[in-house]
Amino acid sequence: MAHVLIVEARFYAHLNDLLLAGARAAIEKAGHTHETLTVPGALEIPGAIAAAAESEAFHAYVALGVIIRGETYHFEVVSNESARGIMDLTLAGLAVGNGILTVENEAQALVRADPAELDKGGAAAEAALALLALAERFGS
């Protein structure tokens, strides 16, 4: 049984509730346990996962958050750098599922976050568990 850390950037609470529901359901359906850690924004997620990984208490990680395009360049910075940070962690050998939504508007986020619709939170949890299975298969 794996113990999974869900790290969420809780900027949009109502959307994150949906992402969390999907991620938790997927982890529990697979027979694993989980904890949730909340950080201020998507840029803090990779650092939080890196810090948690040092504890060796978790087998996999799920990154959740919502970034909605605004009127400034900030959207690109947060989207690109949070994704790069997560990719760096994955390439370093951590099993991380990226469920950070990068969308144009709230309507797009609702469809993607809702477990009854696209369930991107559940998909991120499934991705993390798939990477964990690969690591176990290849002995890393």
Catalytically annotated residues: 74
- Annotated binding residue 66: yes
Contact 61, 97 (CB under 8 A): yes
Is 6 annotated to bind a ligand? Reply is: no
d(CA 113, CA 85): 22
Closest CA to 4 of 128, 138, 135, 136: 128
11 appears as a binding residue in the annotation: yes
Judged on CB neighbours under 10 Å (0-12, 13-18, 19+), 108 is middle
The identity of residue 121, as a single letter, is G
Q: Residue 44 annotated as binding?
A: yes
Would the annotation count 67 as a binding residue? Answer: yes
Is position 38 annotated in a ligand binding site? Answer: no
Q: Which residues are annotated as a binding site?
A: 11, 42-44, 66-68, 71-72, 98, 112
Q: Which residues are annotated as a binding site for 5-amino-6-(D-ribitylamino)uracil?
A: 11, 42-44, 66-68, 98
Q: Which residues are annotated as a binding site for (2S)-2-hydroxy-3-oxobutyl phosphate?
A: 71-72, 112
